[in-house]
Amino acid sequence: MDYGSSPFAFFAFVDAVTSGPLAWVLVGIGIYWLAILVLKQRDLLPSYVGTQGPILTIHTKRGRAFLDWLARPKRFWRAWANVGVGIALVVMVGMFVFLLTAAISSLQTTEPTSVQQPRNILVIPGVNDFLPLSATPGIVFGLLVGLVVHEGGHGLLCRVEDINIKSMGVAMLAILPVGAFVEPDEKEQYEASRGGQTRMFAAGVTNNFAVTIVAFALLFGPVVGSIGVAPGAAVGGVAPGSPAEDAGITPNDRITAIDGTQVEDNDDLETALEATEGDEVTVELDGEKTVPVERSVLVTAAVDDGPTGIQTGDRIVAVDDEPVATESGFFDAVGDSERVTLTIERSDGERVEREVPIGAATQVAADGPLERAGAPAEETLVITTFDGQRVTTYDDLSRLLSETSPNDEVVVAGYLDGERVEYTVTLDEHPQSGSGFLGIVGAQGVSGFSVNDVGIQLYPAQEYLVVLGGEGESNGTTVTNSFLGKIVLVLMLPIAGILPGFLPFNFAGFTGGIENFYEVQGLLSPLGDGTVFAIANMLFWTGWINIQLGFFNCIPAFPLDGGHILRTSTEAVLSRLPINATRGMVRTVTTTVGLTMLVSFLLMVFGPTLFAG
């Protein structure tokens, strides 16, 4: 149902927020909040425990003497905080532009993505789709570290600027730490210099960014350097109704042998399967047990409304009446034929025959070389030959294109709406690789569908390890060698599976079963696999959460640190202008920016659900 502009849009939004695990979380928070209200009303809470809605604030005066001692090298800490002020100002501008752009983009979104679901804003494992329960220890550890160093930075700079601290503490939602705080003496805080206040507010995010650098430096260096990929082909996913599922193969298994032939890595699996001739193979899992697998040519992915009419879940049982049961047998039966008749068995058991072209399914781009050569733009063309060479899959076409140069003249032939066509094309320069550019958008596989005779999706364990700083080559994923570049890539790993052209699975650390794909070796091996994986997970989430805390707190809106820095910065700018600056002017600037950020944030989170057309 399309709720876009209807009166039911609000109810659709409410349904999206109050369904699934999030609903149970909201019910739990409601019951917890009611219990807090009862305890507060009956004066049963200790004197050091305060309440702010459902949040408990636990106050303490301990630690102030330690902060006094730590704050003694005041010049050093002021210099450190001044660096942080510069970083915070740059990030504040970036966060302003990001939220504003995201809000505008959300109004143009026709369908909300999984990242834009309200529950995925919450950093709660099991509720957030990208944070599995298995990652909870690492996430909680990283959050605690982030809160302590953030508020510790505020407290330290309070003492550096001679601002007394009334109390410090942590904010709890049930047993979950959701914040920490330092309660400075308000009078002394506002009597402090403008620069002192700015340094104090910037100290928290400065520490968060510093912790991020330290955590990722340790992760990219000695920790991931001691982790290698375990032998075998890593099973990341199993297609429903596939031979693998029927045989009991599950995600996170490793295929270590096929009919007794050892499988060292993902690439070896295809070679081992091609070397077998029978319809049934014996698969060894994790080097421990074997299972028989009855192979069949299963369509594991297919383009919607593709040129062949083949759907995901179909089985190809014959090519031109020749029975096939393996992927290699399918391609052997196709041979050099540009059109074949496929016998297809649907998931409901119905058998149909389809005459289809076999090649690379592409869509002709507007204003590209192929369109200028006469191919209709936005139409699907199945390319079967490229400059006289047979093309069976999109990978074949990509390989041939990579060997061309700009201004090469090539002949492209294939099928358009069932009719064979041919075009002579002068290639442009590819905007990224510098090779020849044809002007197409292609679909992976053969004629817009992919087949597999076992029905598994391999997990690129080596590529994830390389992204994290491990040794080896990454097949198909661009990995930067710079430290900051690696941090950017790692920040995307929890949502990697939904990013086009990145990696096929979300990565939440060495947990949830994927640790079976890795083994500890080298310097840290005496600690054991479990200990090293736990350290890696804590560093991964500590770095990831601390940079998120830093960015979030740099949003220029109250009560975040960015809002306070905006106020002191506005005061500093207005005081230098040839006008009679007043507090009302400062309040106008900060309120305007703050409201803009609040509306932008709400639109970014809830806009796609409310306004999707």
Looking at the fold, whether 302 and 422 belong to one and the same domain comes out as yes
Instruction: Give the tokens for residue 119.
Output: 């529950």
Looking at the fold, whether 266 and 415 belong to one and the same domain comes out as no
CA dist list (Å): 502 to 304, 463, 464, 497:
21, 10, 11, 7
The answer as to whether 74 is a domain residue is: yes
Nearest to residue 458, comparing CAs of 269, 178, 230, 294?
269
Looking at the fold, whether 199 and 348 belong to one and the same domain comes out as no
Which pTM does this prediction carry?
A: 0.80
Looking at the fold, whether 193 and 103 belong to one and the same domain comes out as yes
Q: Which domain holds residue 270?
A: 240-295
- What value does the mean pLDDT take over residues 262-287? 90
Q: What is residue 374's predicted lDDT score, i.e. its pLDDT? A: 93
CA dist list (Å): 445 to 107, 195, 336, 455, 481:
35, 60, 17, 14, 31
Nearest to residue 254, comparing CAs of 220, 297, 212, 283?
283
The answer as to whether 38 is a domain residue is: yes
- Per-residue pLDDT at 381 exceeds 90: yes
- Per-residue pLDDT at 205 exceeds 70: yes
Looking at the fold, whether 147 and 269 belong to one and the same domain comes out as no
The answer as to whether 256 is a domain residue is: yes
Looking at the fold, whether 318 and 276 belong to one and the same domain comes out as no
The answer as to whether 405 is a domain residue is: yes
Q: Tell me the pLDDT band of 503, cut-offs 50, 70 and 90.
A: confident
Beta bridge partners of 229: 518
CB 383 within 8 A of CB 363: no
- What value does the mean pLDDT take over residues 374-378? 92
Instruction: Give the tokens for residue 36.
Output: 């807090």
User: How many structural domains does the chain have?
Assistant: 3
Which burial class, exposed, middle or buried, applies to 297 when counting CB atoms under 10 A from its CB (0-12, 13-18, 19+)?
buried
Highest mean pLDDT range out of 99-113, 307-321, 530-544, 589-603?
530-544
Q: What is residue 222's predicted lDDT score, i.e. its pLDDT? A: 93
Give the torsion sign (CA, 6, 7, 11, 14): positive
Domain boundary, last residue among 428, 451, 474: 451
To the nearest 5 percent, what fractions of the chain are helix, strand and coil? 45, 20, 30
Identity of residue 19: S
The answer as to whether 486 is a domain residue is: no
Looking at the fold, whether 279 and 360 belong to one and the same domain comes out as no
Domain boundary, last residue among 383, 417, 451: 451
Q: What is residue 276's predicted lDDT score, i.e. its pLDDT? A: 85
Q: Tell me the pLDDT band of 322, cut-offs 50, 70 and 90.
A: very high
Place of tokens 């005459």: 355
Q: What is residue 8's predicted lDDT score, i.e. its pLDDT? A: 39
Highest mean pLDDT range out of 40-44, 155-159, 179-183?
155-159
CB 95 within 8 A of CB 551: yes
- What value does the mean pLDDT take over residues 160-181? 76
Q: What is residue 385's predicted lDDT score, i.e. its pLDDT? A: 96
- What value does the mean pLDDT take over residues 110-124? 67
Q: What is residue 15's predicted lDDT score, i.e. its pLDDT? A: 45
Looking at the fold, whether 126 and 246 belong to one and the same domain comes out as no
Looking at the fold, whether 67 and 206 belong to one and the same domain comes out as yes
| 294-303 tens-digit pLDDT | 999 999 889 8
- Per-residue pLDDT at 179 exceeds 50: yes
User: Could you report how far apart the first and last alpha carbons of the chain are, in Å?
Assistant: 11
Q: What is residue 26's predicted lDDT score, i.e. its pLDDT? A: 67
In CATH, what number is assigned to the domain containing residue 438?
Answer: 2.30.42.10
- What value does the mean pLDDT take over residues 391-407? 94
Looking at the fold, whether 193 and 164 belong to one and the same domain comes out as yes
Q: What is residue 191's predicted lDDT score, i.e. its pLDDT? A: 84
| 349-360 tens-digit pLDDT | 899 999 999 999
The answer as to whether 475 is a domain residue is: no
- Per-residue pLDDT at 478 exceeds 60: no
Beta strands 389-390 and 380-386 are antiparallel
The answer as to whether 192 is a domain residue is: yes
Highest mean pLDDT range out of 16-20, 35-39, 446-450?
446-450
Q: Across the chain, what does the average pLDDT equal? A: 85
**DSSP letter (8 states) at residue 54:** T
- What value does the mean pLDDT take over residues 390-417? 94
| 544-599 tens-digit pLDDT | 999 999 999 998 988 889 998 999 988 888 888 887 767 788 888 888 998 998 88
- Per-residue pLDDT at 69 exceeds 80: yes
Q: What is residue 116's predicted lDDT score, i.e. its pLDDT? A: 64
Identity of residue 560: L
Nearest to residue 384, comparing CAs of 400, 368, 402, 408?
400
Looking at the fold, whether 264 and 250 belong to one and the same domain comes out as yes
Q: Tell me the pLDDT band of 504, cut-offs 50, 70 and 90.
A: confident
Q: What is residue 516's predicted lDDT score, i.e. its pLDDT? A: 95
Q: What is residue 483's predicted lDDT score, i.e. its pLDDT? A: 86
Q: Tell me the pLDDT band of 5, cut-offs 50, 70 and 90.
A: very low
Beta bridge partners of 283: 258, 291
- What value does the mean pLDDT take over residues 258-269? 92
The answer as to whether 227 is a domain residue is: no
Domain boundary, last residue among 451, 478, 502: 451
Looking at the fold, whether 40 and 182 belong to one and the same domain comes out as yes
